[in-house]
Chain A
C-alpha cells in the first residue's frame, strides 16, 4: 500500500484514503461545444500511458475530499511529488535526473 502526501492536509496518508482520477493537466476547452472532432478526441480519449513519469489526478476521498495532482513514476510506483489542483505542471522534479 502506497503512502500519498495530500497537499491540502499536508500529511502522508495510506492509499486506502485516496482514489485515482486519471491523467492530469488535460484542460477542458472554454468553447468545448465548438471543438473539432480531432480536438475533442485528444481531450476526451487520448491519454499518455507512459513508462516512467506520469502526471495524474488523485482525490483524497476519505480525507479532505480534495482533488490534487501527483507526479508518479510508473516503473517504481514512487510518488515524486504532489501539488494542489490548479497549480502549474512542475518542470523540475525533486530527485529525478533529466
Chain B
C-alpha cells in the first residue's frame, strides 16, 4: 500500500509498481501511474503551496491542467529545475524530487503569511496606488520587494541542458481532446481512411471517463471502452495519437500549435529523447473536443487545503484509488457533486453532509445519495470553512440566513457547475454565445473550418455527446475528401448527466461582506476585489480583469473567469452577455521557451557565413568579428600584440609597402541586359550611360525619401553588364530594393539581376607595392597606369583562373581588388600572399580597413550615415547626376527640410590633445558652460587612433558643419569635456597623390 489514504480495490493503478519520491525533502512512496498530486494525497498531504499575494496555505483544487494552487518546482539536477509545475499533471517517477514555492522559512510556517493579516493594504489594484511615491523608490525598493514577496517559483539560473525538437505535420482531421467525444470523433474520421491526429494532454486518453463511474459504452466501463478504442486507433496507419500533448494555440487557417511532453515523466530520459516536441499541424478540419472544467463555490475561506472540486476527488478515487479525506463534506449547486459523494461513500469514506444551495432538487443522483444514508441539506449554504493548514470544518446556514451549524470535516468537495472549455474555439476567432438558460458561453459563430463537440459545445450527457461527436468526425472526414464511413457508432449503455449550477458568489460572500471568498486562487482575487474594481470605476470586464488580475495567472482563469464575470455583472447591474467575456489568448497552458525555440539555439540560432579565405585567416591566428552573419578577420595579432599594436602595424605596413585584405563579404550584384545602364540610372544618383566599359564609378543609392541607403563601386564590364558592389550588411536589402523597382516600377526595362556575392572571392591588395605583388600572377591584362588607370576593371586570368580585376582603392593607396571564383579564393590568396611576403606586405583586418578609410574620409554607410543623411549632408553632392530627371530619391532629396540650412553635415574632428581618441556616438556641444540639458549639435560617427597621422582622427555629423571649419567644439564626457576642432574629412594625403603612388 502506498500511502494511508490509498483505498484497497479502488482505482486503476497496479499496486505492485511503487515509486519513491520526495516533497520538500521528505520521502514518500507512490505508485507508477500516479501524478505527484495523487501520490501526495495518498500520503495525506494536502498543504503544497502558499498563495501568490497573501501567502495563504493552499492545497489541490483540481486533478488536471486547470490547477491554480499546487505549483511546485521539480528538480532533476542543478541546471534542470522547472518551476511552477502543476503537481496535478506531473507524472510520478521513481526518484522525483519536488519543492514547494513562495514560502519562507517553511511551507507550514511562512513569514510572508503576515500579508494575510495585512490584507487591507493589498486589496485590488494596491500596487497602482500604494507605492506611488517617492518615485525613485519604485525601482530600487518597492518593485524588488514586491516581486520577491509575491510570486511563483524561481527561474532556473543555468542554461537548459535539455533539447527540444519540432515537427510540422499535415492531416485531414485533427481532433483536440481525447475524452469520450474526441475518441468518438476520431473513430468516425479514421474509419473513412483519412489522415487523423488525435491529441490529449493526459498520459492516457479517456478524459472525464477517468472519474465517471456511471458511464458504460459498448457494454463496458467507459474508461475501458476508451482504452479499447485507442488500441484500435493505434493499429490504423492513417492515425497518429499524441498523448501528453497540449494544443496551446489555434492560429489562422487551421494551424494549431501543440506541445508534446516527451520525457518529463521518465526517471532517466537519456540524451536521445527531447524533453518536449513542438508540433505545428495544418489540418483540413479540426474537431474540438476539449471538454468542460468544473467550477468551485465562492464562499469564505474556500481556499483551505482539503477543499477541492468534486470531480477532482472522484478522479483521485476512481482512477488513482486515493481518498482525499476520511470525513468529507460536499457543497454544491448542481448534481455532479452527488456522484462524488456516492463514490466516496461506497469506497468507505464517511460523508458528513451534502450542502446543496438548491431548494428542492430531484433526480436519481439525489435518490441514490439518500438511499446510501448521506445527510442532505437543501437550500443551505456553507458560509465559511474552518482550519488553516487543512480544512477542519464547514459552517452551514440556511441560504437566506438563520442559525449556523458547524460540521467537522477534513475535506470539502464542491461544484458550482461546469464551464465549457471554449479556449481553442475562441482562439480560432470564433465568437462565443451566451446561453441564458444554462448560464454558459458556448461556441456561436465559427471563423474557421472546425467544429466543437461534447461538453465544450455545451452538449450534456454522454449519449448526446457520442452522437454529436461521431457525426462530426464523419462529416469532418467527408469535408476533407473522404468517401464513406464503414464503422459503427459506439453505443452508450449508461451515462451520468450534468445540470446547470450557479455563477458568482454564494450566500455569505455577498456584497455586504468582507470575507475572503476566492474567485481566482492563483492570483488571490476575492469576490470583494471584483466588486471593489467596479466601485472604483472599472466598467469593462477587460478593465476589471487588469485591475484585479482576475484570470491573469498562469492558469488563465480556467476556474475563475465565469465567477469573476458574474460578480462584476451583478455589481454593474447588467446581464452577463452585456458585460462580455475577456479574450482567450494562447497559450492554453504555459509553454516552455525551450519548446518554442527548439533547435534554434547556440550555433543553430543563426547561420554563420565564412569566406573562402577564412581557414587561412584562422590558421594565421586572426581575431574575428561578426558583421551581420559573416565572420570577418578583425586583425592579425603577432606574438605579444594587443589589438592596438596589431592595427597600428597593419595600417603603417599598408601605406609603406602593401597589405592583403579579404573583401569577399562585400555584396555583389550583376546587373545585365540591354537596359542595364538605364536601370542603373534609375537606382543610383550617378550618371551611368556614359561610363565606358572597363571603367568604374562610386555609386550612391537612395531610398525614395532622399536619404542614403547604400553605396559601392560599380564596374561596367560591358555595355550591357555592370558588376555592382554593396556594403557587406546591405547586400540582401539592396537586392530586394533593386528587384522591387525592376519588377513593379520599371518592369518595361529588359534587365536581369543576379546575386553574385558568394560566387566571387575578393582579395584587396592595397599599397605602393600592390601592383608589384599582383602583376607576376596576372595573364592577359596590361597593368600599366595608362592601360589600367584608377577606377577601372578588366577581365583576365590570375594564377590561371578567371578574374575580374578592379583597380580601386578604399585606403587612398594604389590598390586593386582581385575577384576570383570563390572555389579558388584561398589558393589565389596564398599565391598573392607568397608574392606579398617578398615585399614585406601584411594581411590586414577590418579594423585597419576602417582606420585607413577614415584617414581618407571615405564614409561607411550605416556608420557615418544613419538613414537620415542626404548625399549633400555627407559631402557627396558630386556623385549626384545634376542633369538627371529621374532616379529613386530625386524628389525626396529636394524636400524643404532636406535642403534647409543648418542640417547636420559630415565633417572631420581633431581633438586639441592629439592623443585623446573620442568615443563613437559621443555628443557634441557648442558651449560647454551652458545649463543641462545642453543643446547637442551633433555626434561622433567614426573615431580611431591613426598611427599614420600620429594622432587621433574622427568623423562627425555636426549641424552646419561645413561652415564651422576651424571652430572649436566640445564633447562632454563623464570624466571631463574634450575640446575638438572642426576639420576637413581627409586626414592623410589630402591631394590624393598616393592613388598612383
Does B associate with A? yes
Segment 689-708 of B: residues with Cβ below 8 Å from A: 704-705
User: A35 within 8 Å of B by Cβ?
Assistant: yes
A1-B253, A85-B743 known; 16 new pairs, CB 8 Å cut-off, are A1-B251, A2-B253, A3-B253, A3-B282, A31-B886, A32-B886, A32-B890, A33-B890, A33-B891, A44-B705, A44-B892, A59-B739, A61-B736, A66-B743, A67-B740, A85-B744
Across the interface, do A40 and B429 meet the contact criterion of CB distance under 8 Å?
no
Contact B896 A37 (CB under 8 A): yes
Question: Which chain A positions have C-beta within 8 A of B744?
Answer: 57, 67, 85-86
For the complex, what is the distance from the CA of A35 to the CA of B704, rounded to whole Å? 13
Contact with B along A65-79 (1 / 0, CB 8 A): 111000000001110
Cα separation A21 to B891 with both chains bound (whole Å):
21
Residue A28 CB within 8 A of the other chain: yes
0/1 interface trace, chain A 31-56, chain B, CB 8 Å (1 if under): 11101010010001000000000000
The answer on a CB contact under 8 Å between A32 and B252 is no
Give min CB distance, B309 to chain A, whole Å.
36
Q: Which of A3, A32, A65, A66 contacts B891 (CB 8 A)?
A: A32
Q: Is the CB of B253 within 8 A of A40?
A: no
Q: Please give, as numbers and ranges, the residues of chain A lying within 8 Å of B540 by CB-CB distance.
A: none
Q: Is the CB of A1 within 8 A of B740?
A: no
The interface residues of chain A lying within 8 Å CB-to-CB of B892 are 40, 44
Q: State the CA gap A24–B910 with chains docked (Å).
A: 49
State A77–B429 Cα separation when bound (angstroms).
10
CA A11 to CA B377, docked complex, whole Å:
66
The 6 lowest CB-CB distance pairs between A and B, nearest first, are A67-B743, A32-B891, A33-B890, A85-B744, A3-B253, A28-B745
- Interface pair B891/A85, CB less than 8 Å apart: no
A1: B residues at CB distance < 8 A: 251-253, 255, 280
Distance to closest chain A CB from B168 (angstroms)? 9
Residues in chain B near residue A85, CB distance under 8 A: 743-744, 747
B756 at the interface (CB under 8 A from A): no
The residues of B that contact A44 with a CB separation of less than 8 Å are 704-705, 892
Mostly helix, strand, loop or mixed at chain A's interface?
loop
* Complex contact B891–A40 (CB within 8 A): yes
Give the complex CA separation of A37 and B704 in angstroms: 14
Residues from chain A with Cβ under 8 Å of B739 in the complex = 59, 65, 67
The answer for the CA separation of A44 and B707 in the assembled complex, in Å, is 13
B158 part of interface (Cβ distance < 8 Å): no
Q: Which residue of B lies closest to A65 (CB)?
A: B739
Q: Do A21 and B740 touch (CB < 8 A)? A: yes
Q: B743 to chain A: which residues have CB within 8 Å?
A: 66-67, 85
How far is A15 from B61 in the complex, measured between Cα atoms in Å? 42
User: In the complex, A76→B282 CA distance in Å?
Assistant: 18
- Which residue from A32, A37, A76 sits with its C-beta under 8 Å from B895? A37
| Nearest-neighbor residue (CB-CB) of B253 within chain A | A3
| Residues on B facing A (Cβ under 8 Å) | 251-253, 255, 280, 282, 429, 447, 704-705, 736, 739-740, 743-745, 747, 885-886, 890-892, 894-896
Closest A-chain residue to B891, C-beta based?
A: A32
Chain B residues positioned under 8 Å from A37 (CB to CB) = 895-896
Cα distance, A67 to B744, chains bound together (Å): 7
Of A3, A28, A33, A59, the contact of B885 (CB 8 Å cutoff): A33
Chain B residues with CB under 8 Å of A65's CB are: 739
Complex: A98 Cα to B274 Cα, angstroms: 51
Number of interface residues of A (CB under 8 A): 23
**Would you give 24 A-B contacts (Cβ < 8 Å), ordered by A?**
A1-B251, A1-B252, A1-B280, A3-B253, A21-B740, A28-B704, A33-B885, A33-B886, A33-B891, A33-B894, A40-B891, A40-B895, A44-B705, A57-B744, A61-B736, A65-B739, A67-B739, A67-B740, A67-B743, A76-B447, A77-B252, A85-B744, A85-B747, A86-B747
Rounded to whole angstroms, the CA-CA distance of A14 and B705 in the bound complex is 32
Q: List B contacts of A66 (CB < 8 A).
A: 743
Considering the chains assembled together, what is the distance between the CA atoms of A66 and B747 in angstroms? 12
Q: Smallest Cβ distance from A56 to chain B, in angstroms? A: 12
The docked-state distance in angstroms from the alpha carbon of A66 to that of B753 is: 12
Q: Bound state CA distance, A85 and B280, in angstroms?
A: 31
Minimum CB distance partner of B447 in chain A: A76
Question: What residue in chain A is nearest B280 (Cβ atoms)?
Answer: A1
Question: Among the interface residues A3, A33, A61, which one has the most CB atoms of the partner chain B within 10 A?
Answer: A33
CA distance A33 to B702 in the complex (A): 14
Contacts of B255 in A (CB 8 A): 1
A76-B429 in contact given A1-B280, A32-B891, A33-B885 (Cβ < 8 Å) = yes
**Bound-complex Cα distance A85 to B748 (A):** 13
| Chain B residues, CB < 8 A from A21 | 740
Q: Nearest chain B CB to A23's CB is how many angstroms away?
A: 12
Give the residue name and chain of the B residue nearest to A61 (CB): B736
Give B739's nearest chain A residue, CB to CB: A65
Q: Are B252 and A2 in contact (CB under 8 A)?
A: yes
Could you say which of B251, B252, B280, B705 has the most chain A C-beta atoms within 10 Å of its C-beta?
B252
Residues of B within 8 A of A35 (CB): 891
Look across to chain A and name the residue whose beta carbon is closest to the beta carbon of B889.
A32
**How distant is the Cα of A69 from the Cα of B16 in the complex, in angstroms?**
66
Residues in B whose Cβ lies below 8 Å from that of A2: 252-253
Closest to A4 in B: B253
CA distance A40 to B705 in the complex (A): 10
In the assembled complex, the Cα of A53 lies from the Cα of B282 at a distance in Å of 25
A44 CA / B702 CA spacing, docked (Å): 14
Contact A59 B447 (CB under 8 A): no
Chain B nearest CB from A4 CB (Å) reads 10
User: Do A59 and B895 touch (CB < 8 A)?
Assistant: no
* Cα of A2 to Cα of B895 in the assembled complex, Å: 39
* Complex interface bits, A5-36 against B, C-beta within 8 A gives 1, otherwise 0: 00000000000000001000000100111010
Residues of A with C-beta under 8 A to B429: 76
Task: List, in ascending order, chain B residues with CB within 8 A of A57's CB.
Answer: 744
Residue of A nearest to B732 (CB): A61
Query: In the complex, A1 Cα to B257 Cα: how many Å?
Result: 10
Most A CB within 10 A of own CB, among B705, B744, B890, B895? B744
For B890, give the chain A residue with the smallest CB separation: A33
> Nearest-CB distance from B228 to chain A (Å)?
37
Report chain A residues within 8 Å CB of B704.
28, 44
> Chain A residues near B894 (CB, 8 Å)?
33
Closest partner residue, chain B, to A28 (CB atom) = B745
Residue of A nearest to B251 (CB): A1
A60-98 vs B, Cβ < 8 Å mask (1 yes, 0 no): 010001110000000011100000011000000000000
Shortest B205–chain A CB gap in Å is: 28
* In the complex, chain A residues whose CB is within 8 Å of the CB of B253: 1-3
| Residues on B with beta carbons closer than 8 Å to the beta carbon of A59 | 736, 739-740
CB-CB under 8 A from A76, the residues of chain B are: 429, 447
Report the minimum CB–CB distance from B686 to chain A (whole Å).
Answer: 16
- A31 — which chain B residues lie within 8 A by C-beta? 886
Which residue of A has the minimal Cβ distance to B892? Answer: A44
B740 proximity list for chain A (CB < 8 A) = 21, 59, 67
Bound: A80/B644 CA distance, A = 60
Chain A residues with Cβ below 8 Å from B885 are 33
Nearest chain A CB to B174's CB is how many angstroms away? 15
- Taking the closest CB of chain B, its distance from the CB of A42, in whole angstroms, is 12
Q: With the chains together, A35 CA to B253 CA distance in Å?
A: 43
The CA-CA distance from A32 to B894 in the complex, in Å, is 11
Contacts of A3 in B (CB 8 A): 253, 282
A59 CB → nearest B CB, Å:
7
- C-alpha gap A59/B894 in the complex (Å): 30
Q: Report the minimum CB–CB distance from B520 to chain A (whole Å).
A: 31
CB A41 to nearest CB in B, in angstroms, measures 9
**Cα A61 to Cα B252 with chains together (Å):** 21
A8 to chain B, nearest CB (A): 10
A61 to B743, CA, bound (A): 13
| A21 CB → nearest B CB, Å | 7
| Nearest residue, chain A, Cβ from B741 | A28
Q: Give chain A residues whose Cβ lies under 8 Å from the Cβ of B251.
A: 1
In the complex the two chains form, what is the Cα distance from A59 to B735 in whole Å? 13
A40 to B65, CA, bound (A): 57
A54 vs B253: C-alpha distance when bound (angstroms): 18
Q: Please, how many angstroms separate the alpha-carbon atoms of A77 and B886 in the complex?
A: 37
Nearest-Cβ distance from residue B702 to partner chain A, whole angstroms: 12
